[in-house]
């Protein structure tokens, strides 16, 4: 029986720690590395597991557009033995004003896990988890895209092998992909990562501080610049993302000019011979990158996209694998 001290108001369930994957900052660096390595294994062999999610039901809540992440997690759930339950932007009573806590309690009574991409803050996903006693995977929130960060690290391991001493240059928007990338790289020994973003569009200070603290323990360095001048040329990887979320617009009419110096074209890559090119996609050719670079011989963006499924499988194994229903052998 639940004691009065542990019960919430008006019979609400007791408060418990959230479970799942919300931010890479929640994981030790060695766990992030292990998940990336596991993603590579599952990329090579999608059947390299014992179907750990047999009997599980996993909700797929995507209130924002998603091609790669949604497809990857749906396929990953099926390959691991789970049944996915899809939810679109208007499918849940959240869209009519139901409290996040009440939605969490309802979903937690029926699902074994939830993969969620919403337009809300990360705290909403944590509250869904706590009140539903439900493992939740952050498939992108306003602050961070942790599963993309794991995918990026796995892609780098697949294409480059040993990442010790990796040199990476990120240019463009300091968005949720950039924050996750900084956290993912912060555990790579000797990594030198430079994030160059237009003034007012950089990585949030809180994430940058956290990533730098983690980097210090791994002997890595994370530099942050608000200018495209004198950027490093001796790098192994150049990474950029789209300048704005699909379907949105910026209030600043001069935003394109602010981002123009951070544009990745053939000349930009020529000054960095041997560097791979990464992009989390979707890409807007002509905005952040030229088609010649995106589709060129040094682009690993399409390998990066294909790595999404193995990464999603590794995340679901980690977040749900030891919490799914017991199944008896036939």
Can you give the residue ranges of every domain in the chain? 9-144+308-317, 146-306
* CATH architecture for the domain at 146-306: 3-Layer(aba) Sandwich (3.40)
Q: Note the helical H segments in 219-328.
A: 255-259, 266-270, 291-294, 301-320
Do 9-144+308-317 and 146-306 have matching folds?
A: yes
Query: CA 91 to CA 63: how far, in whole Å?
Result: 9
What pLDDT does 327 receive? 39
Record the pTM.
0.91
What pLDDT does 10 receive? 42
Q: Quick one: DSSP state of residue 9?
A: G
What pLDDT does 8 receive? 41
Helix (H, G, I), strand (E, B) or coil at 194: strand
321-327 LR contacts (CB < 8 Å, sep 24+)? 321/52, 321/53, 321/80, 323/19, 323/112, 323/113, 323/135, 324/52, 324/53, 324/54, 324/55, 324/56, 324/82, 324/112, 324/113, 325/55, 325/56, 325/112, 326/55, 327/54, 327/55
Of 20, 16, 106, the closest CA to residue 8 belongs to 16
For residue 11, give every residue at least 6 positions away whose Cβ sits within 8 Å of its Cβ, in sequence order, or none: none
Q: Quick one: DSSP state of residue 300?
A: -
What pLDDT does 321 receive? 83
Low-confidence stretches of the chain (pLDDT < 50) are: 1-13, 246-247, 324-330
9-144+308-317 CATH: 3.40.50.1370
């Amino acid at each position: 029986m639940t004691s009065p001290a542990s019960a919430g108001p008006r019979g609400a369930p007791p408060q418990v720690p959230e479970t799942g994957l919300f931010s890479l900052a929640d994981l030790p660096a060695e766990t992030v590395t292990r998940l990336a390595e596991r993603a590579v294994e599952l990329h090579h062999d999608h059947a390299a597991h014992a179907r750990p999610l047999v009997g599980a039901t996993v909700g797929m809540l995507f209130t924002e557009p998603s091609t790669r992440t949604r497809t990857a997690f749906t396929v990953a759930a099926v390959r691991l033995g789970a049944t996915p339950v899809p939810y679109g932007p208007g499918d849940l009573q959240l869209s009519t004003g139901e409290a996040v806590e009440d939605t969490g309690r309802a979903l937690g009574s029926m699902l074994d896990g939830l993969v969620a991409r919403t337009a809300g803050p990360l705290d909403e996903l944590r509250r869904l988890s706590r009140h539903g006693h439900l493992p939740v995977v952050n498939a992108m929130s306003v602050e961070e895209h942790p599963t993309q960060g794991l995918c990026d690290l796995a892609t780098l391991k697949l294409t480059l092998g040993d990442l010790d001493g990796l040199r990476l240059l990120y240019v463009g928007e300091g968005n949720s992909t950039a924050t996750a990338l900084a956290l993912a790289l912060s555990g790579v020994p000797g990594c030198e990562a430079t994030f160059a973003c237009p003034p007012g569009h950089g990585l949030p200070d809180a994430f940058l501080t956290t990533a730098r603290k983690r980097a210090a323990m791994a002997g890595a360095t994370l530099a942050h610049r608000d200018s495209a001048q004198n950027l490093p040329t001796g790098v192994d990887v150049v990474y950029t993302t789209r300048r704005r979320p699909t379907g949105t617009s910026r209030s600043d009419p001069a935003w394109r000019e602010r981002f123009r110096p951070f544009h990745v074209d053939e000349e930009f890559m020529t000054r960095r011979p041997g560097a791979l090119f990464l992009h989390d996609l979707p890409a807007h050719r002509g905005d952040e990158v030229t088609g010649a670079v995106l589709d060129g011989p040094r682009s690993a963006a399409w390998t990066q996209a294909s790595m999404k499924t193995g990464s999603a499988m590794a995340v679901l194994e980690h977040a749900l694998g030891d919490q799914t229903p017991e199944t008896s052998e036939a």
